[in-house]
Amino acid sequence: PLAAAIASTNIWHLLRDDVFVDFFNTFLNLPVFGQTPVYSNSRSRWDLWPELPSCLDPSPPDLLAWLEKHRLPHFCKSSLCLHLILCQKLLEFVRSGEAAKLLNWQSADQWLLEKCISGSQGMWRFRAFIQGTPGEELTDFWLTTERLLGLNKLDAEQRDTYLSLVHRLKATHLREGSSVVTLCGATSGPKSRCIQTSSTTREMLSMMQEQALFVIQSYWLPKFFIHCKMGMAEEESCQPLLQEYGERLSRADSQEPSDFSLNLYKMHIKRSRGSSGPYCSKKSKVKIWTMVKVGRNTQEMKAPGFPAQPGRHLGPVGGREEPCVDKDALGLFPPATPAVGGKGRTTSLQRSNGGQCEDEALSDLHPSAPSAQQPAETLSFLPWALSAEGCAGRPFRHFLECQDRPVETQLLDLWQDLEEFLPVVLDPGRENSFFLRHLIGEKISKSYLGEETIRQLPLEVETLRSLRNHLMAAEFSPWIYRAQKEICKVLCCSYEEFLADDDRTFLQFMVKGM
């Protein structure tokens, strides 16, 4: 599985790939995390948020060691990683001679389509284009199958997830009459006979996934390319890009190879601007969330200890553009991408001060320890963080499991399942919506809403019973929001502990080499 290959690859090597950097930057800035760094390929520079205390002079190897141990494993379990793999598959096709021959593409066409599809923003544009079409079902099937094929059904920890995904596929994408069965089944494509004679479920799914990818590449990708060119023709800001595209068409030049070189010796971390006070990611999140709620312009927040540039705008691929002030940045990447910026001290910390600085940095964690009560500011951004948890590889759940908190873990699972149920039940026109909402509703009812379980969960009994009545009928109900709100109140302190633990671990890596 490609996700496993990414997990086993040295992070220095991964950062050579601009597309990986783009997806990884998006992942690193999901609001569930405490520290949210961004890497700029063009400057070989890391920007940290929150900034470290000014007494620290962290080294790139220490930062990469922390990323490799505490971020990359979660990335490889995330939906962003699955989209990265799909993006790479589409780019391989775009750059191939097969695509040029099959679709009569010139090198200029391949160059422009690569600009349109590369990176997380390119994939979101592509997914928006195919929304509501058979292409969306093929893509969802490909992503689900890619996740399933990366699991080991003989592993006790993975078996339940594996069987759940198989059951879901059979109830939706593999149902008779679905787009996937119609386009990738017995009568579609030269590989159909292999699919029908496949001896195992895994082999069958792998072959159908390959066929689905071929349909996406050869049919939906060209339609997306036409859509992009038509859209760019009407957009004034795209005229320079189209002009270069026209020049490339007239020259019929071969595409220049992308420059994936990475100068390891120049990689550095932007120095702190002299931030005062203890290192505390929770306080930084509160400031960002407050700013978003009141709709304040990003440059108005210039309080001590708060950066003058709270919006980082990433370029189209891998942060090629320098992180900069952008009043729309929080709209493109909602508070998930707060920024660092401004000019501060550049004097290096003398190694002789390392021991004292380590003690100060670690002791600074004390003020950010979770409070005994539920602070209103954490509750205000906790739903935002939990929504990101679902596409971040479940780091908060991993923390709860390590802390042996089964009740909190169960509540977090319930919150995520309800979050998954909402868009399905609110979009009845989507293919497989009827089957999927009944499947998820039945799963939630059986897993969390039996009478014995209801008595054990620290939520209002009325809320859970009312929720069960509606979910059994696969209906939308405001009780979903009520249940999620109650869950947030229970998980609030645990989430603060998670942030404090994330801060502590990060600081330990940053000061260990001093």
pTM: 0.81
- Alpha helix stretches (DSSP H) within 295-370: 329-332, 354-363
* CA–CA dist 212, 225 (Å, integer): 19
Write the pLDDT tens digit of every residue in 53-76.
Answer: 878 888 999 999 999 999 999 999
Confidence at residue 430, expressed as pLDDT on a 0 to 100 scale: 76
Element (H, E) at 501: helix 479-511
Pairing, β 45-47 against β 38-40: antiparallel
What mean pLDDT, rounded, does the chain reach? 81
Structural domain contains residue 191: no
Number of structural domains, the chain? 2
The residue whose two tokens read 């920890």 is 157
Under a CB-based contact definition with an 8 Å cutoff, are residues 215 and 183 in contact?
yes
> 286: pLDDT confidence band, cut at 50, 70 and 90?
confident
Least confident of 119-123, 213-217, 290-294, 409-413: 290-294
Confidence at residue 256, expressed as pLDDT on a 0 to 100 scale: 54
> 177: pLDDT confidence band, cut at 50, 70 and 90?
confident
Q: Which one-letter amino acid corresponds to residue 389? A: E
Structural domain contains residue 332: no
> 374: pLDDT confidence band, cut at 50, 70 and 90?
low
Confidence at residue 373, expressed as pLDDT on a 0 to 100 scale: 52
> 317: pLDDT confidence band, cut at 50, 70 and 90?
very low
| pLDDT average, residue stretch 240-250 | 91
Position 412 pLDDT exceeds 90: yes
Q: Which one-letter amino acid corresponds to residue 251? A: R
Choice between 454 and 264, residue whose per-residue pLDDT is larger = 454
Structural domain contains residue 510: no
Choice between 463 and 198, residue whose per-residue pLDDT is larger = 463
* CA–CA dist 228, 211 (Å, integer): 25
Closest among 32, 41, 19 to 70, alpha carbons compared: 32
Residues of the chain with pLDDT > 90, as a percent, come to 56
Structural domain contains residue 300: no
Structural domain contains residue 317: no
Write the pLDDT tens digit of every residue in 390-405.
Answer: 889 999 999 999 999 9
* Domain span including residue 449: 378-502
Structural domain contains residue 420: yes
Confidence at residue 354, expressed as pLDDT on a 0 to 100 scale: 42
Residue where a domain stops, chosen among 211, 231, 246: 246
| pLDDT average, residue stretch 406-410 | 97
Write the pLDDT tens digit of every residue in 331-367.
Answer: 223 333 232 223 332 333 233 344 444 444 444 443 3
- For 96-126, letters b (16+ CB in 10 Å) and e give eeebeeebebebbbbbbbbbbbbbbbbbebb
Confidence at residue 467, expressed as pLDDT on a 0 to 100 scale: 95
Position 248 pLDDT exceeds 50: yes
Write the pLDDT tens digit of every residue in 13-55.
Answer: 999 999 999 999 999 999 999 999 999 988 889 999 998 887 8
Structural domain contains residue 395: yes
Query: What letter would DSSP give residue 373?
Result: S
Structural domain contains residue 279: no
Choice between 332 and 480, residue whose per-residue pLDDT is larger = 480
Confidence at residue 253, expressed as pLDDT on a 0 to 100 scale: 52
Under a CB-based contact definition with an 8 Å cutoff, are residues 329 and 319 in contact?
no
> 201: pLDDT confidence band, cut at 50, 70 and 90?
confident
Length of the chain as a residue count:
514
| pLDDT average, residue stretch 93-114 | 92
Residue where a domain stops, chosen among 192, 211, 246: 246
